[in-house]
Amino acid sequence: MGTRIEIDQLVKVFGSGQAAARAVDGIGLTIEPGELFFLLGPSGCGKTTLLRMIAGFIDPSEGSIAFDGRDVTHAPPNKRNTGMVFQSYALWPHMTVAQNVAFGLNVRKVSGAERDTLVEEALAAVQMEQYAERKPTQLSGGQQQRVALARAIVIKPDVLLLDEPLSNLDAKLRNDLRHQIRNICKASGITTVYVTHDQKEALSMADRVALLRDGKVVQLGTPRELYRQPESKFVAEFLGETNLIQAATDGTGTLRVEAGAFEATPISQDQSKSKHILISVRPEATSLTPAGESGSLPGKLLDTTYLGETAQHLVEVKGCPLIKVAEMNPFGSSSRVHPEPGDTVGVRFDPGEVVPISAD
């Protein structure tokens, strides 16, 4: 079940001469059968162009795309059996929910009882059976997007393509729908490619993520790999808050900044040979300690933002940019220190969470 998508050296150039822009610049990827695969990246990185080349709406300039070994690089959309869900839902306003979902089946000449059963099944998969006779205008945004999803999966596509499907919805609904969409995709076994610029969406839903920048894949991996082992500054920062620190190494896994020394277990022998390295430490892998505690760096607390379940502290540490420390359950009984702005504190980096990265 599910289709393998092989993308090889894919390029899309828009325009020509001086104005030519390489929107997709030599991308190679294999998306496994049944995988929920995310294309993530900032505006203009080429993710929509790549998705549209997989759908057949944009003709590639170079390279190839194959579905289960069948070359579809220049095949028109209707020869690929893909289902597509857009940000704008794109439902027919004059048709009922059931008629909207049946549309693709009518085009494929599926009729009668078979069509009705398939429509019912698709609406049940997105929990919209009871709305079958409503018009799209009588539905909320989230419900409309579930209908759009039912319409895409009812034709049993080889590949499901989703282009920022949750961007028009409010934060709470987006959260609810993330789980639902993931469950529907995984239950159907359809290979799914999902485009978003929202890193939380990608981290919470994806089997694997390709992070794009300037038409290229900068890192590919599971959500945990990308978040926990970013290879570059760009990846570390795109996926969340982090502390980027330039530190000196002495070849033993101990790093040094002006304020003092700290341990960093993932530093390899190779990296230890260079004199300075750039590291990333997430705020949640950083904690406040009483001043002067061994293994912590001396610093001054500048500011605390209290958010209820967490607090974000900003600490001045000599030789570092302002250090962000995230504390869970702040001022709770397990909190080791309750400093006020201006107090001297210690800052401790969890030694296993100090990740060496490249500067680009």
Per CB under 6 A, residues contacting ligand ATP are 14-15, 21, 23, 41, 43-49, 197
> What contacts 325, CB < 8 A, 6 or more positions away?
283, 286, 287, 288, 312, 313, 314, 315, 347
How is residue 59 written in tokens? 């003709």
- β-strands 191-196, 276-281 pairing: unpaired
User: Closest separation between CB of residue 197 and ligand ATP, Å?
Assistant: 5
Nearest to 55 by CA among 158, 188, 209: 158
β-bridge partners, 212: 217
Q: Work out whether the CA dihedral 148, 41, 178, 221 comes out positive or negative.
A: positive
Alpha helices in 206-336 (DSSP H): 223-228, 233-238, 269-273
Q: Which C-beta is closer to ligand ATP: that of 58 or that of 314?
A: 58
d(CA 192, CA 170): 23
How is residue 278 written in tokens? 């750039």
User: Closest separation between CB of residue 163 and ligand ATP, Å?
Assistant: 8
Q: How far is CA 151 from the centre of its chain?
A: 24
User: Closest separation between CB of residue 34 and ligand ATP, Å?
Assistant: 25
User: Closest separation between CB of residue 40 and ligand ATP, Å?
Assistant: 9
Q: Which C-beta is closer to ligand ATP: that of 52 or that of 208?
A: 52
Q: Which C-beta is closer to ligand ATP: that of 197 or that of 208?
A: 197
Q: Which C-beta is closer to ligand ATP: that of 41 or that of 356?
A: 41
C-beta separation of 179 from 195 below 8 A: no
User: Closest separation between CB of residue 281 and ligand ATP, Å?
Assistant: 29
Collapsed DSSP state (helix, strand, coil) of residue 28: strand
Q: Which C-beta is closer to ligand ATP: that of 45 or that of 162?
A: 45
- 269: which DSSP letter? H
Q: Which C-beta is closer to ligand ATP: that of 41 or that of 157?
A: 41
User: Closest separation between CB of residue 269 and ligand ATP, Å?
Assistant: 38
C-beta separation of 293 from 346 below 8 A: yes
User: Closest separation between CB of residue 3 and ligand ATP, Å?
Assistant: 23
Q: Which C-beta is closer to ligand ATP: that of 47 or that of 313?
A: 47
Q: Which C-beta is closer to ligand ATP: that of 57 or that of 103?
A: 57
- 36: which DSSP letter? E
C-beta separation of 281 from 238 below 8 A: no
User: Closest separation between CB of residue 192 and ligand ATP, Å?
Assistant: 17
β-bridge partners, 303: 314
